[in-house]
Copies of this chain bind each other. A is one copy, B any other.
Amino acid sequence: MKFSKIPAATITRLSIYSRTLEQLTGEGSTVISSEKLATMCGVNPAQIRKDLAYFGEFGVRGVGYYAKELLFEIKKILGLNKTWKLGIFGTGNLGCALVAHENFAKQGYHFVAAFDVDPGKVGHKLASGLLIHHVNELEEVARGAGIEIGVISTPPSAAQGIANRLATIGIRGILNFAPVQIQVEGGLRVENVDFTVKLDNLAYHLTTP
């Protein structure tokens, strides 16, 4: 199925709904009112209904949502009913922190290969046991390990080159932590992570009494 007109913000909110529903089902909740789900997600109930309406009918009038069913459906919509194979490019502090961060595996994202250019690192293993390959072997290792998404935590100057090579071997998704704009072509999609956007949010609220 193709939902070409779904706003990006809806997808981001679905992701937040799924995190909240996971927490709720983990705590044993079976049914949740749209008001409670909305409050927990920081939106209003109408927004949840509108977001879900793109994909079908969910929830029972006067009851709310069946948490487990809704979680299942949202995960299906987002493509999270499978695990995803990730490659990490750059095993500095940030790369190591990402591979070790428990959120990834919890959400079905598994690092299957690691790359660096530092001769002092190549051939060694990360704390997780993942072997660090030289980036020269990118194409061969990425194909062999079945990488589906590339996570870039290299210095800014190396990011575009990695992205180009990933695109060449047909990888369609990149999560970019390098503080640089990656130019994309064809079917490649890049999501940039900029920690400071969240800080701007704090700054605004600390400034506005």
Contact = CB atoms under 8 A, between A and B. Distances in A.
A77 to B, nearest CB: 7
Contacts of A207: 78-79
B8 A42 contact: yes
Interface in A167-198: 172-175, 179, 181, 189, 191, 193-198
Nearest to A77: B204
A98 interface: yes
B175 A208 contact: no
A158 interface: no
Contacts of A97: 92-94, 97, 153
A100 B179 CA distance: 12
Interface stretch (A13-21, A29-37, A65-73, A132-140): A13-21
Interface residues of A, number: 61
Contacts of A122: none
Contacts of A14: 200, 204
A2 interface: yes
Contacts of A191: 198-199, 201-202
Nearest to A198: B191
Contacts of A11: 200-201, 204
Interface in A53-111: 77-80, 84, 92-94, 96-98, 100-104, 106-107, 109
A18 B93 CA distance: 28
A1 to B, nearest CB: 8
Nearest to A179: B103
Task: Give the top 3 A-B pairs by smallest Cβ distance, nearest first.
Answer: A79-B207, A94-B97, A93-B97
